[in-house]
Amino acid sequence: MTSLTYSSDQHASIVAQEQRRRLYSFLTIAVVAIIMVSGYTEAESMNSGGFMHGLRQFFDYPGDVIEEAWAAGWAFWGIVWRFIPALIETLNIAATATILGGLFATIFAFLSTRNLDVWPPLIPVSRRLMDIMRAFPELILALFLIFVLGASSVPAMIAVAFHTVGALGKLFSEVNENIDRRPVEGLQAVGAGWLQRLRFGVLPQVLPNYTSYFLMRFEINVRASAILGFVGAGGLGAELRRTIGWGSGEETAALLLLLFLSIMIIDQVSGMVRRSLVSGNLLARKVLV
């Protein structure tokens, strides 16, 4: 952009570049369209029930469930109340898994961050370990542990925690990478040890983001524990499988309502806390006063 007039060469190259870019965009869109169309055709033919047939039945099941719940009248809320222990169990799975996972994730994150003066050879090792933990499907671990430990909530808890270490560890270590080094150097200059530098130089910087990611993970883990319950590990999911197989519509409706409400409430509350954390209203103000 040094001269105001383009030479014809420049112009030609810009046009060529633009044309190539358009070709690539077109190709990408074409590939995606082909995948979508052929994929849905293939999926339709592999499915045991067809799309159009299923569409007509789509509202049948939710309709039945709601109808039965409606027919139960006030007794429905009694059923909801009966399933509160199952809800607590699911929340316990999620909370314990998030706490334990978060604890190990913090350790792994500190071991895998370049600017925190840890022993360098450990960095790639802990990063690969986190990759493995993140990639390993929760379902497989849960099924394996159910086989060894018997059907209870603990296999689901361990499986969710295992995945959490990998997922949170990666996010935490990214937070660590982005800290301001100056407070740490300042503390080092006055003779602070490694733990002291961590406590006064690093933790105040990373804690708001850590808490925010932690809460976000808790939301995800509530959903994951409900799902894993369904394959044999206690809580709402296990009850849901029982009622869908054997129970009545109003029980299913009660469980679905509980699950929906708790997910909504947890999402809203944690969303509020996270927004105030990121905008710095919750912690930062106290520090400034």
Partner 1 sequence: MTATTTPYDRDALLDRHAGAVRHTVRGSRAAIACLMLVLAYLIYAWFAFDIPRLIATAEPQRAVLLATDSVVHKVHVTKGLRNPGFEVAVEGERTATYETPPPWVEADANAEQVFIDLGDGYTVSIDGTQVTMTGPETEPIRVTPGEDGVSIAYSGDKPDWVREGYNVQTESLVKFDARPTIDKRVQVTRSKIEVHRYFFGWEHFFFPFDSELHGRSPGDLVDLAFSDERLDPEQSNLSLMFDTFWHNKEWQHRAVAIALLETVLMAVLGTFTAAFVGLPLAFAAAHTFNKVGVVRFALRRLFDFLRGIDMLIWSLIFIRAFGLGPLTGALAIAFTDTGTLGKLFSEALENIDKNQVEGVQATGANRWQRYRFGVIPQILPVFVSQGLYYLESNMRSATVIGALGAGGIGLMLVETMRTSRDWENTLYIIILTILLVVAMDAVSGWLRRRLIQG
- Candidates 6, 26, 70, 144; binder of partner 1 (CB under 8 A) is 144
Does position 129 interact with partner 1 (CB under 8 A)? The reply is no
Contacts with 63 (C-beta within 8 Å, 6 or more apart), sequence order? none
- Candidates 58, 74, 119, 246; binder of partner 1 (CB under 8 A) is 58
Does position 182 interact with partner 1 (CB under 8 A)? The reply is no
Question: Alpha carbon 64 to chain centroid distance?
Answer: 32
Q: Are 190 and 60 in contact (CB under 8 A)?
A: no
- Candidates 78, 124, 150, 193; binder of partner 1 (CB under 8 A) is 150
One character per residue 198-217, x = contact with partner 1 (rule: CB under 8 A): --x---x-------------
Q: Is the Cβ of residue 98 or residue 112 nearer to partner 1 in the bound state?
A: 98
Does position 280 interact with partner 1 (CB under 8 A)? The reply is no
Q: Is the Cβ of residue 11 or residue 119 nearer to partner 1 in the bound state?
A: 11
Provide the sign of the torsion angle of the four alpha carbons 150, 152, 157, 159, taken in this order.
Answer: positive
Least distance to partner 1, CB of residue 107, Å: 15
Least distance to partner 1, CB of residue 91, Å: 10
Q: Residues in contact with partner 1, total (CB under 8 A)? A: 64
Q: How many CB atoms lie within 10 A of CB 265?
A: 10
Q: For tokens 């808490």, what's the residue?
A: 211
Least distance to partner 1, CB of residue 241, Å: 9
- Candidates 2, 7, 9, 46; binder of partner 1 (CB under 8 A) is 46
Q: Which helix (H) or strand (E) holds 187?
A: helix 181-189
- Candidates 129, 192, 230, 276; binder of partner 1 (CB under 8 A) is 230
Q: Is the Cβ of residue 53 or residue 119 nearer to partner 1 in the bound state?
A: 53
Alpha-carbon distance values, 210 to 3, 6, 233, 273, 276 (Å): 50, 51, 29, 12, 13
Task: Produce one character per residue of 114-153: b if its CB has 16 or more CB atoms within 10 Å, e if not.
Answer: eebeeeeeebeebbebbeebbeeebeebbbebbeeeeebb
One character per residue 71-110, x = contact with partner 1 (rule: CB under 8 A): ------------------x--x--xx--xx----------
- Candidates 2, 48, 120, 121; binder of partner 1 (CB under 8 A) is 48
Helix (H, G, I), strand (E, B) or coil at 191: coil
Q: Which helix (H) or strand (E) holds 80?
A: helix 75-82
Q: Which helix (H) or strand (E) holds 92?
A: helix 84-111
Tokens coding 20 = 């190539």
- In angstroms, the CA 167 to CA 160 distance is 10
Give residues in contact with partner 1 (CB under 8 A): 32, 35-36, 39-40, 42-44, 46-51, 54-55, 57-58, 60-62, 89, 92, 95-96, 99-100, 135-140, 143-144, 147-150, 152-154, 157, 191, 200, 204, 223, 226-228, 230-231, 237, 240, 244, 256, 259-260, 263-264, 267, 286-287, 289
